[in-house]
Amino acid sequence: MKIVVIGGHGTIGSCVSKHLKIKHEVITASRTNGDVHVDMESAESIKNMFEKIGKVDAIVNCAGATKWGPFAELTEEDFYVGLRGKLMGQVNIVRIGKNYLNDGGSITLTTGILAEDPVFGATNSAMANNAIHGFVRAVSQEHANEFRLNVVAPGLVEDSAERLGAAFPGHTPVPMQKVAKGYERSVEGLRTGEIIRIYE
């Protein structure tokens, strides 16, 4: 398969890219690194990325910014960080990317455990993640005969545990290989409209 991994040089994206490269042709995309550049907050940039890459068999997104902080201190503009980056960035990847999929293609988005088990300061992330879950369920039903659409929701991943572990009290870090396998299930499997939870 020819697969584009957006955010392919991040903590999760680099692991996913390396894993998928074992069997597939992988093109990485990010704001500053990768084979092609893309700004997820710009629909035009997303379209330009796909124009450069051409048709693909699978699209995997492992990127999307949110704003962390206590709810009482978040401004309206702070909430738009997650809405523009994590939510609308992924919505636009699907909205635009579906036109660049080969027959039988798939799109895999990324959320995380904060959708169901939010920690202190994660309001923006929890909101955006849950919105994506609803989006995936709805769109996958409308386009079930055209392309597959899933979302992988990892827990606290091992490679982030040292940096972020204090913010996730009591959480067991998820091995990176297990996370990568979740994306493999979405890309190579038959499922659509599913939230693939990789929590422990």
| Structural domains of the chain, with CATH | 2-198 (3.40.50.720)
Q: What tokens were used for 161? A: 């545990």
Sheet holding 36-37, edge to edge: 36-37, 25-30, 2-6, 56-61, 101-110, 148-154, 195-198
How does pLDDT run across 159-170, given as a tens digit for each residue?
Answer: 999 898 899 999
Alpha carbons within 13 angstroms on the beta-carbon side of residue 75 total 2
pTM for the whole thing?
Answer: 0.96
Per-residue pLDDT band for 73 (boundaries 50, 70, 90) equals very high
How does pLDDT run across 87-121, given as a tens digit for each residue?
Answer: 999 999 999 999 999 999 999 999 999 999 999 99
SS3 196: strand
